[in-house]
Amino acid sequence: MTAEPESGAPAASNSDSAAETNAGLAGDLRLLSGRRGLILGVANERSIAWGIARRLSDQGAELSFTYQGEALGNRVRPLAGRIGSNLVMPADVLDDAALDSVFERLGSAWGTLDFVVHAIAYAEREDLADGIVNTSRSNFRTCLEVSCFSLIDITRRASALMPSGGSIITLTFQGSRSVMPNYNVMGVAKAALEGAVRYLANELGPRGIRVNAISPGPMRTLSGAAIGGARRIFRTAESNAPLRSNASLADIGGAAVFLVSDLGAGTTGEIVHVDGGYHVLGMPQPENL
Select from 11-19, 21-29, 104-112, 118-126 the region that touches ligand NAD (CB under 6 A).
118-126
- The closest alpha carbon to 43, from 171, 180, 168, 187, belongs to 171
Numbers of helices and strands, H then E, in the chain: 10, 7
Please count the residues of this chain forming the interface with ligand NAD, following the rule CB under 6 A.
25
Which helix (H) or strand (E) segment is 88 a member of? Answer: strand 88-90
Among 12, 72, 191, 281, binds ligand NAD (CB under 6 A): 72
**Catalytic residue of the set 122, 190, 199, 278:** 190
Cβ proximity to ligand NAD, 24 vs 47, nearer residue: 47
Please state at what angle helix 48-58 crosses helix 249-260, rounded to 10 degrees.
60
In the three-class reduction of DSSP (H, G, I as helix; E, B as strand; rest coil), residue 118 is classed as strand
Among 31, 83, 94, 191, binds ligand NAD (CB under 6 A): 94
When asked if residue 122 is in the footprint of ligand NAD (CB under 6 A), the reply is yes
Among 32, 48, 116, 271, binds ligand NAD (CB under 6 A): 48
Select from 113-121, 151-159, 176-184, 195-203 the region that touches ligand NAD (CB under 6 A).
113-121
CB of 108 to ligand NAD, least distance (A): 22
- The closest alpha carbon to 259, from 247, 273, 245, belongs to 273
Select from 81-89, 115-123, 133-141, 158-166 the region that touches ligand NAD (CB under 6 A).
115-123
SS (H, E, C) 175-217: HHCCCCCCCCHHHHHHHHHHHHHHHHHHHHHHHCEEEEEEEEC
Catalytic residue IDs: 183, 190
